[in-house]
Amino acid sequence: MITRRQGLMSMLFGSGMVGLRALATGLPASFLLNPRRAFAANQTPMCGSNAKAQYIIFNTSGNGDPINASVPGTYGDPNIIHSQDPKMAPTALTIQGQSTTAAAPWAALPQAVLDRTCFWHLMTNTPVHPKEPDVLKLMGTTAAGEMLPSLLAKQLAPCLGTIQSQPISLGATSPSEGISYNGAPLPIIPPLALKATLTSAAGPLTNLQPLRDQTLNQLYDLYKNGASPAQQAYVDSLVTSQTQVRNINQSLLDMLSSIADSTANSQVLAAVTLIQMKVTPVIAIHIPFGGDNHTDVGLAAETAQTVSGVATIATLMQQLATAGLSDQVSLVSLNVFGRTIGPGNTNGRQHNQNHQVSITIGKPFKGGIIGGVAPLKGDYGAVAIDSKTGLASANGDVTPIASLASYGQTVLASVGVNPAIISSDISAGTVIAGALA
């Protein structure tokens, strides 16, 4: 019988715990799986040549959160309804030197973060909660019905040398938020389960130093007799010292031990830890931003969760900076739909299939506002986008209906995926060059 703990360990670290050996030695998991072949082929072990590759923390929700009600691009029309709570007061901010307005929580993000933040005004074309998987599949435009997180993971795993290519979901709150890979649903790993598995007295992180020495001893003869001088130098440059292993071990244990629940902040902490362990290139989380707020009196829940949601993003960015990962990790969001923002939305909002705001934050992105909104059918909807500039334009070549697929294409392009692969993976839309740094 395989216990739940054993199953989780195998999923996280692979057959033979190759992921732990990679963590303990600093050597890529792909190299450890077959070092003899790498040396025999006279190839220097590499994680790939894609210099733009990024880890992705993918925030998604099937609730249809009202993110679109508080962000830049929705404050130019006085008829758009915003929360009147002082904590959400319209506040001036700049992104890449451009002046705009948003709810106060967004303006409080550090300038360095804002300058890498894109607010995408998109159309998902569905008002139905259970359609979240379809939205993640970019409404029928992805090859073989693959989800955007999985498309990203497949392309990034070889470049980053991660233990696995399958994404990991930490925060799904309903079946519709689950992630699939090659058509198969992936398990959800709550942060508390991760903590319990990895921080126990007999847990895997307590044996990193002896595992390092054992693995290097096993490689010694092959290293001395089967590797070229260039390959030996490359391996030497990657090998982690015992002191470094001790520091890694303590840092990871400290981070995991501080997890107290499975809330958004704990998901962020778990995600950063998994990235440091190079487990997977894509980790899905759920940061609440107001939820399904049909009867939200005075937009109180929207206010509270927008404040806490932006604070969670700020915490994530701070943790990435502390770990030295600010340039290696991007936040990407995509929800099933947005919310009505027209007149009459002061005590709750309704589903809006015509306007949803996604957020990207990371080194590959040029901060700014992508697209915009205009009155539509008694409310507001996303408008066409000029793909060269990213600006809203009545004559834009990216129509609202194509904006979702174009978002997917642009995110793939941001992390260096080959254009031919992008067009093969996503059959509609176009890359929005104006969003790329």
Q: Are 367 and 409 within one domain?
A: yes
Residue 249 pLDDT more than 80?
yes
Q: In angstroms, what is the C-alpha Rg of the chain?
A: 22
Q: Are 36 and 63 within one domain?
A: no
- Residue where a domain terminates, one of 245, 261, 277: 261
Mean pLDDT within 388-410: 97
Which two three-digit tokens encode residue 371? 């697209």
**How far apart are the C-alpha atoms of 205 and 372, rounded to whole Å?**
48
Q: Are 277 and 302 within one domain?
A: yes
- Tell me 115's DSSP state: T
Residue 370 pLDDT more than 90?
yes
Q: Are 322 and 423 within one domain?
A: yes
With bands split at pLDDT 50, 70 and 90, how would you rate the model's confidence at 1? very low
Domain that holds residue 410: 53-190+267-435
pLDDT tens for 137-172 read: 999 999 999 999 999 999 999 888 888 899 999 999
Read off the CATH number of the domain in which 316 is found: 3.40.720
Higher-confidence residue: 107 or 205? 107
Q: Going by C-beta distance under 8 Å and a sequence separation of 6 or more, which residues neighbour residue 78?
A: none
pLDDT tens for 297-323 read: 999 999 999 999 999 999 999 999 999
Alpha-helical (H) ranges within 278-374 are: 300-322
Q: Are 264 and 285 in contact (CB under 8 A)?
A: yes
Q: Are 27 and 170 within one domain?
A: no
Residue 97 pLDDT more than 80?
yes
- Per-residue confidence (pLDDT) for residue 384, from 0 to 100: 98
Total domains, the chain: 2
Mean pLDDT within 243-271: 91
With bands split at pLDDT 50, 70 and 90, how would you rate the model's confidence at 43? low
Residue 2 pLDDT more than 80?
no
Q: Report residue 118: phi and psi, to 5°.
A: -110, 130
pLDDT tens for 343-357 read: 988 899 999 999 999
With bands split at pLDDT 50, 70 and 90, how would you rate the model's confidence at 49? low
Q: Are 156 and 255 within one domain?
A: no
Q: List the single range of 54-63, 229-238, 328-337 with lowest mean pLDDT.
A: 229-238
Which two three-digit tokens encode residue 109? 């993000």
**How far apart are the C-alpha atoms of 363 and 417, rounded to whole Å?**
15
Q: Are 271 and 297 within one domain?
A: yes
- Residue where a domain terminates, one of 261, 292, 316: 261
Q: Are 276 and 346 within one domain?
A: yes
Q: Are 106 and 359 in contact (CB under 8 A)?
A: no
Higher-confidence residue: 298 or 47? 298
Mean pLDDT within 107-130: 98
Q: Are 366 and 406 within one domain?
A: yes
Which two three-digit tokens encode residue 364? 């590959």
Half-sphere exposure (Cβ direction) of 94: Cα atoms closer than 13 Å: 6
Task: Burial-class residue 110 by CB neighbours within 10 Å (0-12, 13-18, 19+).
Answer: exposed
With bands split at pLDDT 50, 70 and 90, how would you rate the model's confidence at 4? low
Q: Are 256 and 291 within one domain?
A: no
pLDDT tens for 329-339 read: 999 999 999 99
Percent of the chain with pLDDT over 90: 72
- Per-residue confidence (pLDDT) for residue 204, from 0 to 100: 78
Residue 205 pLDDT more than 90?
no
Percent of the chain with pLDDT over 70: 97
Pick the closest to residue 408 from 356, 333, 336 (CA basis). 333
Q: Are 102 and 224 within one domain?
A: no
Q: Are 1 and 101 within one domain?
A: no
**How far apart are the C-alpha atoms of 176 and 62, rounded to whole Å?**
6
Averaged pLDDT score across all residues of the chain? 92
- Per-residue confidence (pLDDT) for residue 138, from 0 to 100: 98
Q: Going by C-beta distance under 8 Å and a sequence separation of 6 or more, which residues neighbour residue 185?
A: 178, 179
Q: List the single range of 23-32, 85-94, 190-199, 277-286 with lowest mean pLDDT.
A: 23-32
Higher-confidence residue: 247 or 53? 53
Q: Are 81 and 355 in contact (CB under 8 A)?
A: no
